[in-house]
Structure 1
Amino acid sequence: MHVRASCTFSSSLNELTSYLSFRIQLLESNQKIKTATISINMTTDSLTFQCALITGGGGGIGKALAAYLVSKGKKVLICGRTESNLQSSAKDTGAEGYYVLDTGKISAIPAFIARITAEHPELDCLINNAGVQRPLNVLHDPAADFLAKADEEIDINVRGPMHLALGLIPHFKTKENGATIINVSSVLGFCPFVIINPNYCATKAWLHFWSMSLRTQLKNGGTKTRVVEIAPPSVDTELHRDRENPRDNGKEFNPDALTVEEFMEDIAVKLERGDEMITAGIGEKLVRDWDQAFGAFYEKAAAADAEKQRERK
């Protein structure tokens, strides 16, 4: 899948608004071009960071995020496991550069962080987008096969984001204007309604709750590092490549699924207005219901922690 983006801006002297239009072209597996124009009107822009690292930037949502941020004038670096995909993505999106990195190989992360912060000291945003999804069944899959695939999911979906974030936080704390960590979770982290992906759902639940706690600790600790969570619903990407039907996240099989263009159009507005919890499509109700059930309870706990932090100072 290839993504190309271009943007034009217009402004009005009478209104503090800006206009963004960028065109995304997706080259589907059948070699047909599907073009969508995304037009977004906004009154604020909370994309205060200048240089973003996107994991899993070789395709899908990561590639679309790269194209979008480049269209917003940001410097973008991408990383992933497959160099050919990264080369294509960097060329198509205008990303500044790419790094070959398997985020599940956590032993490689410290050296990677040392290298990227030395080569790009202006880096002030991490987007933990890389993820894998494996269909698993405890009764049908041999235990060794199940565990090998589950361990890979945990390494990429859990350990990778945690090690990258913790490794970059000291660098981010040096940024006078603050920094941003964006974690891409899933609506399945709120309700595991896809039974064939038990481990994937669990890893995304972990990423959701870890994002909440990380945000609270960084905020209550007085840092300027924001934590944003994006929880996609079913989006038409290659995430389901290991399913019996790899296309079951497309609209022809799932009417609730979003195209990448639809997803980006929705979340771009929320990113720019400064939302910290972002979703789209069927995720809107899931996230809202969760917040109504547990949000106040969590905010009370976060406020109590903030008070403890103030007392320690």
Structure 2
Amino acid sequence: MGTKSLKGRHALVTGGGRGIGRAVAASLVKAGATVTIVGRKPASLDEALNAGDAHAAVMADVTDMAAVQAAVHEAVERYGPIDLMIANAGAAVSAPFLKSGPEVFRNMLDVNLLGVTNVVQAVLGSMSERGFGRIVAVASTAGLKGYPYVSAYCASKHAVIGFVKALALETAKTGVTVNAVCPGFTDTDLVAESLRTIMAKTGRSREEALSELTRHNPQGRLIDPAEIANTVLWLCGEQARSVTGQAIVVAGGEI
């Protein structure tokens, strides 16, 4: 894709203040899109703005439908209708299933599933009316396979993949595509937190904890957030107009 291939497009990126979301936002900016990021932490949002990785930021909790609608309204008022919506906000909790009560599953579904569907409901009507839209959910390899001790997280990400496949069929004739990108373990602050948890619970060194995560990737490494961003960028372009309902894996051959 050219450096200005998305010029004139307005993109909304949830969880855009850090990690994969910020890498996606920065790539969209470089491709010419006008980018609004959404998040809960003003410091992260301000840091992304100051670095030029987005044009505007709106604070909202993606689990709160009213807050999401208000955030989308504010973004539209400033820069026009949303053309590209990247639902990246998410969370992970690690615990054995027998210690994962209903509240753990509810929390994972609220953030990882409703955090996607709430934003889609806020933008899809306008996209369909205008005959163009790109919806990309940042899911996970945990939406396509299982991992021990993250049953709630896996369940929520599997739900996202099912939602993407269903909605893609509903929107197939509207000019809107709906896809998921499924990263393996990625070099973000979320994975850094997982490393600290492994170290604290097992007494392993950081190198040993990192080895535990990278063993899932046949290439033996963490994924670079820029690799995820490049995949999202391609899905947002005109050349991917026939790609919909897909769960594209970026995980070094793990799946």
**2:225 is the counterpart of 1:260:** yes
Which structure 1 segments of 5+ residues have no match? 1-17, 21-44, 287-313
Partner of residue 129, structure 1: 88
Q: 1:162 to 1:19 in 2, by over 3 A?
A: closer
Does residue 148 of structure 2 align to residue 195 of structure 1? yes
SS of equivalent to 1:136: coil
User: How many residues are aligned here?
Assistant: 235
Check 1:97–1:49 CA distance in 2 against 1; reply closer, same or farther (3 A cut).
Answer: same
Query: What corresponds to 1:147 in structure 2?
Result: 102
Residues 41 and 59 in structure 2, CA contact (< 8 A), matched pair in contact too: yes
1:209 aligns with 2:179: no
Q: Residue 166 of structure 1: which of 114, 121, 125 is its match?
A: 121
Alpha-carbon spacing, 1:84–1:159, altered in 2? closer, same or farther (3 Å): same
In structure 1, what is the Cα distance between the partners aligned to 2:26 and 2:14?
14
* Structure 1 range deviating more: 107-116 or 196-205: 107-116
> Which whole-Å CA distance do the structure 2 matches of 1:48 and 1:195 have between them?
43
Does residue 101 of structure 2 align to residue 183 of structure 1? no
Structure (1 or 2) with the greater helix fraction: 2
- When Rg is computed on C-alpha atoms for both structures, the one with the higher figure is 1
CA shift digits 1:204-240 (9 cap, x unpaired): 1111111011011111xx3111112111111111223
What one-letter code is carried by the residue in structure 1 that aligns with 2:142?
Answer: L
2:235 and 2:83 map into 1 onto residues whose CA distance is: 20
Do residues 281 (structure 1) and 234 (structure 2) align?
A: no
The answer to whether the Cα contact below 8 Å between 2:134 and 2:235 also exists between their aligned partners in 1 is no
The offset of 1:189, in angstroms, is 0.8
- Counterpart amino acid of residue 164 in structure 1: V
Aligned residue in 2 for 1:111: 70
**Measured at CA, do residues 239 and 49 of structure 1 come closer, stay the same or move farther in structure 2, by a change above 3 Å?**
farther
* 2-structure distance, mates of 1:125, 1:270: 10
Q: Which residue of 2 aligns with 1:68?
A: 27
Identity of aligned residues (%): 23
Using the size of structure 1 for normalisation, the TM-score is: 0.67
**Letter of the structure 2 residue corresponding to residue 281 of structure 1:** A
Aligned runs of 1:37-48 on 2, under 5 Å?
none
SS in 2 for 1:226: strand
CA deviation after TM superposition for structure 1 residue 91, in Å? 1.8
For CA contacts below 8 A with separation 6 or more, give which structure has more relative contact order: 2
Query: SS in structure 2 opposite 1:76?
Result: strand
Q: Does the CA-based 8 Å contact 2:16-2:45 persist in structure 1? A: yes
8 Å Cα contact 1:128/1:184 also seen in 2: yes
- Cα distance in 2 for residues equivalent to 1:48 and 1:249: 42
Q: Which whole-Å CA distance do the structure 2 matches of 1:264 and 1:250 have between them?
A: 23
| In 2, Cα distance between equivalents of 1:249 and 1:92 | 31
User: 1:167-212: per-residue Cα shift (whole Å, max 9, x none)?
Assistant: 2111212325x111111111111111x2111111111111111101
